[in-house]
Amino acid sequence: MRLVSALGLASLLFIDSCGAVDLSQAMDACPGAAKFIQAQISRQLAAGPPKAPAVTDEAKRHRILEHEEEDQRLYEQLASGSVNPTAFKELQARNLRYLHKELGHAVSIPSIDEVGRDGLAALWLLIQHADGDVELQSKALKKFEPMVKSGEIDASKFALLSDRVLLASGKPQRFGSQLRSPTTGEPLDVGNSVAIERERDALGLMKLADYRCISEQLYKNSH
C-alpha cells in the first residue's frame, strides 16, 4: 500500500489534501511512523471491511459529496500553486453557506446511518476547512466527540479539528496535529510536547516525534 488517497492519508496524518502521495520514501525515513501505519493497516485488514450501513438520506449524502469533491479539487490546485485566489475564496464562502443551510444554527451532524461513512468523512473535511466560522467548527467538534467513541469518526479527524479550533481561538494545541499554518505553510510551535504526547496516547495516535517526521517528509514531497 504505497499509494494512499488524500483523505485516507489525512486520517493517519495531517494533510487535508495532497492528492496521491508515494509513502515509500517517507516511511523509509521515519521507521517509527512506518511501524504505526503498518500496524493500523494490519488491524484494518484483520477486521475486514466495515459493514456499510443502509444510507437513509441519499440526497443529503450526495450534496455533501458534491461539495467535498469541489473542495478537494480546489485545495489540490492550491497545493500546486495553480488556483485563482478569487475562485478559492468564492469556494470557501460557498461551502460555508452550504454548511449553514445543511446543518442549521445548532450544527446538527448527521449520523453514519443517514449519510454513510464516506458522507460523514466528507462533511468533516468541509467543516475542517470552514475557517471562516470558528463557532460552527467548535459546535461540530462537540458533536463529533461521542462519534469517535462509537467509531463513526476517526480519532485523528477529531484531533485535527480540535487543534484547528484551539489555534483559531488563540489557545495551545491539545494533540499537536497542526504542524504548519494552513494559510502560509509556516511551521507552528506545538507547545508542551509532554502534555501533547499524553493526549495523543490516550486517543491512540502515533507518537509526536514520528508524526513530525513523516509529516515533514510528506510536506517536502508535496511541495
What pLDDT sits at residue 1? 32
Tens of pLDDT, residues 120-151:
999 999 999 999 999 999 999 999 999 999 98
Tens of pLDDT, residues 13-29:
544 444 445 678 888 89
**Mean pLDDT of all residues belonging to the chain:** 86
What pLDDT sits at residue 11? 45
Is the full-model pTM beyond 0.75? yes
Spans of all domains in the chain: 3-221
For every residue of the chain, DSSP letters joined together read --EE-HHHHHHHSS-S---SEE-HHHHHH-HHHHHHHHHHHHHHHHH-SPPPP--S-HHHHHHHHHHHHHHHHHHHHHHHT-S-HHHHHHHHHHHHHHHHHHHTTTT-PPPHHHHHHHHHHHHHHHHHT-TT-HHHHHHHHHHHHHHHHTTSS-HHHHHHHHHHHHHHTT---SS----B-TTT--B-----HHHHHHHHHHHTPPPHHHHHHHHHHHHHHT-
Percent of the chain's residues with pLDDT above 70 = 88
113 pLDDT higher than 50: yes
